[in-house]
Structure 1
Amino acid sequence: MTKFKLEYIWLDGYEPVPNLRGKTQIKEFEAFPTLEQLPMWGFDGSSTKQAEGGSSDCMLKPIRHFPDPARTNGVLVLCEVMMPDGVTPHVSNKRATILDDEGAWFGFEQEYFFYKNGRPLGFPAEGYPAPQGPYYCGVGASNVGPVARQIVEEHLDLCLAAGINHEGINSEVAKGQWEFQIFGKGSKKAADEMWMARYLLQRLCEKYDIDIEYHCKPLGDTDWNGSGMHCNFSTEHMRSVGGKAYFEALMAAFEKNLDAHIAVYGPDNHMRLTGKHETAPWNKFSYGVADRGASIRVPHSFVKNGYKGYLEDRRPNSQGNPYEIASQVLKTIASVEAADEQSAAA
Structure 2
Amino acid sequence: MSIVTDFVNLNISNIPDKIIAEYIWIGGSGLDIRSKARTLSGTFDNPQKLPKWNYDGSSTGQAHGNDTEVILYPQAIFKDPFRRGNNILVLCDAYKPTGDPVYTNKRYDAAKIFNHPDVVAQLPWFGLEQEYTLMEKDTKWPLGWPQGGFPRPQGPYYCGVGAEKVVGRDIVDAHYKACLYAGINIGGVNAEVMPDQWEFQIGPSIGIAAADELWVARYILEVV
- TM-score scaled to structure 1, two decimals? 0.55
Tell me the CA shift for residue 150 of structure 1.
0.9
Query: Partner of 2:208: helix, strand, or coil?
Result: helix
Match 2:129 to one of 100, 109, 127: 109
1:78 corresponds to: 91
Tell me the CA shift for residue 122 of structure 1.
1.1
Aligned identity (percent) is 45
Asked if 1 retains the 8 angstrom alpha-carbon contact of 2:141 and 2:148, the reply is no
| Matching of residue 158 in structure 1 with residue 173 in structure 2 | no
Alpha-carbon RMSD across the aligned residues, in angstroms, is 1.4
2:10 corresponds to: none
- d(CA) in 2 for partners of 1:174, 1:137: 10
Asked if 1 retains the 8 angstrom alpha-carbon contact of 2:24 and 2:36, the reply is yes
Query: Partner of 2:126: helix, strand, or coil?
Result: strand
Look up the equivalent residue of 2:28 and give its one-letter code: G
Unaligned runs of 5+ in 2: 1-15
Look up the equivalent residue of 1:80 and give its one-letter code: D
TM alignment of 1:166-181, pairs within 5 A: 166-181=186-201
Query: Partner of 2:180: helix, strand, or coil?
Result: helix
1:128 corresponds to: 150
CA pair 175-47 structure 1, distance change in 2 beyond 3 A: same
Unaligned runs of 5+ in 1: 205-346
Match 1:39 to one of 48, 51, 55: 51
Look up the equivalent residue of 1:89 and give its one-letter code: P
Query: Partner of 1:119: helix, strand, or coil?
Result: coil
Query: Partner of 1:139: helix, strand, or coil?
Result: coil
Tell me the CA shift for residue 33 of structure 1.
5.0
1:6 corresponds to: 21
Q: Which runs of 4+ in 1 moved over 3 A?
A: 31-34, 184-187
Per-residue CA shift, 1:4-61, capped at 9, x if unaligned?
11100001121xx4211101011121x3453233100010000111100110000000
- d(CA) in 2 for partners of 1:196, 1:169: 16
Query: Partner of 1:164: helix, strand, or coil?
Result: coil
Query: Partner of 1:64: helix, strand, or coil?
Result: strand
2:12 corresponds to: none
Query: Partner of 2:144: helix, strand, or coil?
Result: coil
Query: Partner of 1:201: helix, strand, or coil?
Result: helix
Match 1:89 to one of 101, 104, 111: 101
- d(CA) in 2 for partners of 1:76, 1:134: 37
Asked if 1 retains the 8 angstrom alpha-carbon contact of 2:101 and 2:108, the reply is yes
| Matching of residue 25 in structure 1 with residue 47 in structure 2 | no
- d(CA) in 1 for partners of 2:205, 2:176: 20
2:163 corresponds to: 141
- d(CA) in 2 for partners of 1:83, 1:133: 50
Per-residue CA shift, 1:60-103, capped at 9, x if unaligned?
00010111021043210000101113x32222210010232342
Tell me the CA shift for residue 184 of structure 1.
4.1
Asked if 1 retains the 8 angstrom alpha-carbon contact of 2:45 and 2:77, the reply is no
Look up the equivalent residue of 1:58 and give its one-letter code: V
- d(CA) in 2 for partners of 1:167, 1:35: 24
Asked if 1 retains the 8 angstrom alpha-carbon contact of 2:176 and 2:186, the reply is yes
| Matching of residue 203 in structure 1 with residue 203 in structure 2 | no
| Matching of residue 50 in structure 1 with residue 70 in structure 2 | no
Tell me the CA shift for residue 109 of structure 1.
1.0
